[in-house]
A and B are shown apart, each in its own frame.
Chain A
Amino acid sequence: MLKVKNLSKYYGDIAALSGISFHIAPGETTGIFGMTGSGKTTLLDILSGYLLKYGGCVELEGKDIRKDAAQSRKEIAYIPQGGALYQEMTVREYMRFLCGINRIRSAKQKNEMKEVLEFSGLANIEEYPIRALNALDQAKVSIAAALALQPKVLLIDQPFHGLRTDEAAQHKLFLKAVAQRTTLVIASDTIGGFSDLCKRTIILNKGRIASDRDNLFDMPARKMGIRLRVACAPTQVRAAFRFVSGVAEMDFHSTSETGVWDVVVNAKQGEDIRHALWFAAASYKVPVLEMRSLHISPEDIYLQLSGREQEEEE
């Protein structure tokens, strides 16, 4: 449905986007993630038709969105960060305005608006000025107004921006319902909260695609090793584990308790050394206070791919 081919965008000599290619199928919910400055907003600006000068091509159902700009702009709705709502308008006025500037016929507009207002749970506050609504309702208004256009693709930049944790949780449920109606593309700098919303995740790092995969959130956490808390000297631990064949390396970290150490034991690829470690520790009388497996989560993968980990280290 939405095909992006070798997209690039430069601000002077700086590449905001470079070599971006992907294809989004109808009905798919895609999350575009990346840290600040990774090019997410620029990408949405291009997909929405806001930015017109760029390299490469964006096609909606096989048509270049630049060649048929007026039509494709009707079919791709865009909600910028924070919703960018006109606070002095009422909910209905705003929806009517958005339909008007997108040349949606008034008869069609009326029916669609009514249905969308009910779907969004805004029917009872449609005559309220937007400034009088809370952040969650304002976020819903921006989406409801976009849905009234019956877009084929809905782009949302930072959908949880400005929402409290409880509001974000409620908004996520609403977004899940929205995802049933249209093809949804969401951009965010964190992946928290999107696990059961986005089937597809595209991670951007410095304007390039660092990862494009389905079911990142469904990926089983990968074992990275075992962490033990022991109440003895590191030499005793080394002696105990030296004959365990699956051990690749060991790291020792002191703790706030005297004589207590944290040991991170990394296993050789694919080996489960939990039993062997336990028996070795028991036979060498190493007091094990705690033992647990270390995993790499989707969040860790995201931090690694988006370049945030590297930046934090620097």
Chain B
Amino acid sequence: MYMVLKKELNTYRRHMLLYLAAAGLMLYTGVRFGGALFSQEIVEIRTVFSEIANVLVLFIPLLTMDSFAAEKYLGSDRILFSSAIRLQSVVFSKFLAAFLIFAAFSAATLLFPMIGILLTGMYWKEILLLYLGVLLMGAVVCAMGVFISSMSSHGFRALLVTVAVLFAWWMLEALLPHMTHLLIRHVIRIVSVFSRFHEFQYGLLSYSAILYLITCTLLFQVGTVQVLQIWRQKRV
């Protein structure tokens, strides 16, 4: 497992686009937090966090697009899946590599809330909960990105589909308050990952939300293993 994880992290290390994305993210969070902290007007800090969480999540398709699509395209999946390492370990390693990079991105944005704590006395417990929410939501999206990548042989296609699914989730989230039908509202609540994040956003440590997000992450990984099993059996 360690070798696949190391290989994936090295691939990210050589990914020029990620450095640009990281620089862009730091600039954006700097401007947003700076604006929020030093503005004369009253700014809802939760809204700023929500925006940054969304921007962070948007980077995930970039991380996961090539997870399996590139292996399939190159034909190296034959080497990976005929080696002594278990398929489950390969899937988990690829997920973990993407998640670690996402976590590193998220950690980099912590710099600004820290300044906020020092300058304005923001509540650190709430901030930690917000970041826990970001990490758990990121884990689900990472697992989903890897899952989508396992269904394609083209990284760019996987990227587009992952972004499309994210937008669909956001759309559902935006439409939720306008839904009058109770059953539809209930179903949307069940499938909406982002609504679970709001619980953390409001400073609530919700064990059900934690359990839900971890379950989603695991389900996507199980799904990835299944997709790859089926794919290699059907591969001509």
Footprint of B on A, CB under 8 Å? 11, 16, 42, 45, 48-53, 70-71, 73-74, 76, 78-82, 84-86, 88-89, 93, 96-98, 100-103
In the assembled complex, B74 has its CB within 8 A of some CB on chain A: yes
Interface: B233 (CB within 8 A): yes
Q: Which of A16, A49, A71, A97 contacts B3 (CB 8 A)?
A: A97
User: Is B75 positioned at the interface, with any CB of A under 8 Å from its CB?
Assistant: yes
Known A11-B236, A16-B236, A50-B232; contact A98-B79, beta-carbon cutoff 8 A: yes
Task: Return chain A residues, CB-CB under 8 Å to B80.
Answer: 101
Contacts of B207 in A (CB 8 A): none
**Set of chain B residues within 8 Å of A50, measured between Cβ atoms:** 78, 81-82, 232
The SS class assigned to the B binding surface is: helix
Residue interface mask B9-20, A partner, CB < 8 A = 1: 011001000000
Contacts of A93 in B (CB 8 A): 10
B39-77 contacts to A (CB < 8 Å): 74-76
Contact B82 A100 (CB under 8 A): no
Partner of B78, one of A16, A80, A98, A103: A80
Residues on B lying within 8 angstroms of A by beta carbon are: 2-4, 6-7, 10-11, 14, 74-76, 78-86, 232-236
- With contacts A88-B14, A101-B80 taken as known, whether A11 is within 8 angstroms of B234 at the C-beta atoms is yes
A70 to B74, CA, bound (A): 24
Structural contact, B75 and A82, CB atoms closer than 8 A: yes
Q: CA A101 – CA B89 in complex, angstroms?
A: 10
Q: How far is the CA of A76 from the CA of B79 in the complex (A)?
A: 11
Q: Which residues of A contact B2 (CB under 8 A)?
A: 100
Bound Cα distance from A48 to B236, whole angstroms: 15
Of B4, B74, B83, which contacts A84 at CB under 8 A? B74
Given contacts A80-B76, A82-B75, 19 further A-B contacts (CB under 8 A): A42-B236, A45-B235, A48-B82, A50-B78, A50-B82, A51-B233, A78-B82, A79-B79, A80-B75, A84-B75, A84-B78, A86-B7, A97-B3, A98-B79, A98-B83, A100-B3, A101-B3, A101-B80, A102-B84
Q: B233 to A84, Cβ gap below 8 A? A: no
Q: Which 6 interchain pairs have the tightest Cβ spacing?
A: A100-B3, A84-B75, A48-B82, A84-B76, A50-B82, A80-B78
List, in ascending order, chain A residues with CB within 8 A of B81's CB.
50
Residue on A with the closest CB to B11?
Answer: A88
Measured in the bound complex, the distance between the Cα atoms of B25 and A252 in whole Å is 81
Bound-state Cα–Cα, A45 to B86, Å: 16
A44's nearest neighbour on chain B, judged by CB, is: B78
Smallest distance from the beta carbon of B89 to chain A beta carbons, Å? 9
Main SS of chain A's interface residues? Answer: mixed
- Which listed residue, A81, A96, A103, touches B84 by the CB 8 Å rule? A103
Nearest chain B CB to A18's CB is how many angstroms away? Answer: 15
Name, among B3, B11, B234, the residue most crowded by chain A CB atoms within 10 Å (CB to CB): B3
A-B contact pairs, 9 of them (CB 8 A): A11-B234, A49-B82, A74-B84, A78-B79, A79-B79, A84-B78, A85-B76, A102-B84, A103-B85
A48–B7 CB distance below 8 A = no
Chain A nearest CB from B19 CB (Å) reads 15
What chain A residues lie within 8 Å of B78 (beta carbons)? Answer: 45, 48, 50, 78, 80, 84
With most chain B CB atoms within 10 A of its CB, the pick from A16, A89, A100 is A100
CB distance from A4 to the nearest CB of B (A): 16
